[in-house]
Structure 1
C-alpha cells in the first residue's frame, strides 16, 4: 500500500532545518524531540551545538551535528567545568551567550552558504534571545524559536517589567503568600525567579528572551492547546507572531520514548514489573537542582517510612558535599531491601508510562510536568527555581493533579503524609482528573487534534519561507 505521505516527503526532500539548542538537558532534550518530529515529516536536520555539555551524536545518527567552536584555536575554554562549577545559572547563561555569539554567527553562515541542501529556517532556543534573530537576518535565513517551558510561565516572564513596577520584584520575604492579582492564581513566592549574584542580569536574560521571541517568525511550544488555552491568547497579544503548540513532543511517535535502553534500564524495568499497579512512588528532581545533606536524609527517611515502594533518582554530585550516597546511614539501603531502589539515572518516559507507578515526586520542570500529565500520573510538587514554581501552582490549584511539598517543610513526617495523601485510593478525585488530562493529551495528537493540526500549519509555515538555496 502506498504511503499517503510519500508526495509530501518528496516535496521536502533536500530541505534542511538548522537547530541551535541551549546546552542543558531540559532544553536540549525537547529540541532533539522536535528535530525527530521534523525528520519524520521529511526534513533533514542539522544540530549546531556548543562544546559545553557536548552531546553524544551516536545516539541520534539521523541528524547532522556541527560543533560551534567557543573561541580561537589554542585559547583556553572559558566554559570548562572548573570555570563554571561556581557559577549560578544566570551567570552561566550570560557567559554562554557572550562566548558563543560570534562563533554562532560564523557557524550559521558556514552552514547556510557552504553548499548542500536548501535551508528552510533556523530553530533556536528562546533563551538565546535577540542575537540569534540579528544573526539570522544578517545571513538571510528565517528564524523560529522553541520555548521549552509552558505558556503560563512565559506570561509570567513577559510580565517582569509590570511586576517590577508594581513592587512584586524583587521578592520580599514578608510578601511571599500575597496573591499576584495581575497573574492569578500565582502568589509572590511562585514568581519565576532564579537566585543570582547580579539580579540585573536575570532581568536582562528574561527581557532578551521575550524580545527575541517578538522578533521571530513564530514560536513552537512543547505544550497543547487544551492545557493552556487562556495563556496562548495572552502570549499572542504580547508577541504578535504565529504560535504552534504541538506538544507533547515525546508522544508524537511511539518509538521515541524507549529507544535508548541500557542494562540499568532493564534492571529498573524488571524491578517495576514485580510491583503492584500504581503502588510505586517515583522521585526525581531534575538535572540541575542541588540539595543539602539534611534535605537528602529527610527525603530518604520519608520515602522509607511511607511504606510504599519507591524508585529514587539521585544524580551523582546532586547532594552538596557528597559524591553520591555516602550521607545515608550505614545499613540504610540494605534495610529497605527490594522495597526501594536508588539509581543514578533512568529512562523517565518509560518509568512514568509503567503501570506500577502511582505518583511522581518532582521538581516540576516543564518536561517532567508534561510527561507526568501525558501518562496520567499524580504529582508531588517540590519546585526549586524559575518556572518550576509557576508549574507547581498550576499542577496543584488549576489542573488539581498534585499536592505541594515545599522545601521549607522537607521533614520526614510531612513527606510521609503527602505521599500517603497522593497515593490514596480515591485521592479526592485527583486520579480521575489525571486520567482526563491524559486523555486530552492523547486527543490533541490524534488526526483531528489541535497539536496535529498545528504541526501541519508549522510544516506549511516553514515551507513557505523564502528558502536560502546553497550555492552549488
Structure 2
C-alpha cells in the first residue's frame, strides 16, 4: 500500500509564539504538497491561526490542510500585561488538555484517526499522546543545532557551572561539549539555567529533553555542513536527526511567497547595490526607547538607506520625527515579505534579534548581520554568528548605542572585515543551496521525513 493513502492523517501541534507556528506551517505546506492524498490538521491558538492564515495564502494544492483552534489558557477578559512570558505561561498551563480535547473532536468530526503527531519540539507531552494513540511522534526543533545540543546537555552544563561558581560565572565556556567551545554561560537561555522547575517554561523545556528519546525522528530547519561537529554529536545521541533546511529559499516559486502589500521591493529597486540596512527585531519584542533612539541617531549620522519592519505601534510616535527627517533615504512599514527583502541585491546588512528563522533566511540570501539579541536562543545564535561562522557582528555591550551601531555599520558595510563576512556567508549560502537541491542532504532527509509522517498506521 502506498505511504500516501487517504488513511493518513497528520496532526501538527504548534507552539503559538514568535516564529514557531510560521515555520511549522511552512513544513506542513511542503509535506502537504508532496503528499496531496494525506490530510494535515494544524492545531494552534485562535490568535496565532488568524495571524498565520491572513498572511500565508494556501493556494491550490493545499486543500489537504485545515486549521483548528485550541484554547490559549488565558482567563476570561485577560489583557496583555506587557510581559511576554505571561501568555506563554497561560498556554503551557492549558496543555496538554487543550490539544487532547481538540484532537478528539477533530477525529470525531472527520472520521479520520490520527496517524502521526508532527509537533513543535517544545511540546514534549506529545510523546505521551502519541504513545496512547500508538502512532509516531516527530518533534520539529525550530531553532538551531547549537541550542538543541545545549538543551540536551542541560544536566552536564548545570553541573559544570555549579562546580565553577554557578551561572554567575558568565565567562565560563562550554569547551567540555562537542562543538560548543565558543559558547559562554552568558549566551545560554535563562530557562536552561533555571533550577526552579516549578516555573512553567523551564519545566516544559526540561520535560522536552526527557521526551526526546521517544521521538521517531527529530527534524531541524538546518542543513548538514552548517556545523558538522554539533550535528554528528546530535545524531549519535538521538534516534534520527533530519536536517531539512533551509525550508524556504528566495528562488523557490511557491505559496511561501507573501504579498508585498507595502511595496517594499519597488522601493528597494531604487536603491544602490548592497547599500540598504534592513531592520527587523521579530514579533515578540522591540528594543527599549533609548536603544531605538541610539539606532536612529547612528543611521542618520551615517546616512544609511534603511527599510524598517516596525511592529510596535506604542513606540511609533517617539520616532515620528526621525521617520519624517529621513523619508528620503528610509521606509518604515508594519510588515515586510522578509525573505524577498533579504534576497534583494540592494540589501547590504540585516539588523536583527538573531531568531533562528531570521538567521537561516539571512544565510539563504547571503546577507551579513548586526545582532541585538533579547532572549531564548538569540544570544547563543549571536555568538555563533560572530565567533564561529564570522558572518556578522554583535553590538559592543550587548545593547544598542549610537557608538556601537556606528562601529557595527562601519565594519559590515565599509571595512575589510565586512567583505570577509560576505565571503563566509556566501559559502554557507552555497552549502544551503546544495543541501536542498535534488539528491542534496536536506532533500534526501525530507524524503525520509515524508515517509515517516505519511505512512498510515492502519496498513
TM-score (norm 1): 0.86
Determine the C-alpha separation between the residues in 2 that align with 1:11 and 1:23: 28
TM-superposition CA deviations, 1:117-173 (whole Å, max 9, x none): 5643111111111x2211222133321111100111111122221222122699978
Q: Displacement of 1:379 after TM fit?
A: 0.8
TM-score (norm 2): 0.88
Match of 1:313 in 2: 309
Q: Displacement of 1:113 after TM fit?
A: 5.4
Match of 1:17 in 2: 10
Match of 2:187 in 1: 190
Match of 1:341 in 2: 331
In structure 2, the CA distance between the partners of 1:69 and 1:180, relative to structure 1 (3 Å rule), is closer
TM-superposition CA deviations, 1:411-449 (whole Å, max 9, x none): 212211211210126425221111111111100011121
Match of 1:438 in 2: 429
TM-superposition CA deviations, 1:303-326 (whole Å, max 9, x none): 221222111222125xxxxx1322
Residue 178, structure 1, aligned to residue 175, structure 2: no
Determine the C-alpha separation between the residues in 2 that align with 1:169 and 1:331: 52
Superposed, 1:34-53 pairs within 5 Å as: 34-42=27-35, 43-53=38-48
Conservation of the 8 A alpha-carbon contact between 2:57 and 2:258: no
Q: Displacement of 1:175 after TM fit?
A: 2.8
Where does the alignment leave 5 or more consecutive residues of structure 1 unmatched?
1-6, 72-76, 318-322
Determine the C-alpha separation between the residues in 2 that align with 1:170 and 1:51: 45
Question: Which deviates the most, 138-147 or 168-177?
Answer: 168-177
Residue 149, structure 1, aligned to residue 143, structure 2: yes
TM-superposition CA deviations, 1:23-75 (whole Å, max 9, x none): 1141011111001110111133111122353435464443211122457xxxx
Determine the C-alpha separation between the residues in 2 that align with 1:54 and 1:172: 41
Q: Please state whether the residue corresponding to 2:146 is helix, strand or coil.
A: helix
Match of 2:155 in 1: 161
Q: Displacement of 1:195 after TM fit?
A: 10
TM-superposition CA deviations, 1:224-275 (whole Å, max 9, x none): 111132222222333x3222110111139813476331431x2x11111100
Match of 2:291 in 1: 295
Conservation of the 8 A alpha-carbon contact between 1:160 and 1:203: no
Determine the C-alpha separation between the residues in 2 that align with 1:195 and 1:327: 36
TM-superposition CA deviations, 1:61-103 (whole Å, max 9, x none): 43211122457xxxxx527651x435442x5434212213212
Superposed, 1:405-420 pairs within 5 Å as: 405-406=395-396, 408-420=398-410
Residue 108, structure 1, aligned to residue 103, structure 2: yes
Determine the C-alpha separation between the residues in 2 that align with 1:385 and 1:169: 25
Match of 2:240 in 1: 242
Q: Displacement of 1:397 after TM fit?
A: 1.2
Determine the C-alpha separation between the residues in 2 that align with 1:184 and 1:461: 34
TM-superposition CA deviations, 1:387-406 (whole Å, max 9, x none): 11111111111111111114
**Alignment coverage as a number of residue pairs:** 444
Determine the C-alpha separation between the residues in 2 that align with 1:337 and 1:115: 53
In structure 2, the CA distance between the partners of 1:137 and 1:80, relative to structure 1 (3 Å rule), is farther
Q: Please state whether the residue corresponding to 2:373 is helix, strand or coil.
A: coil
What's the C-alpha RMSD, in Å, of the aligned pairs? 2.9
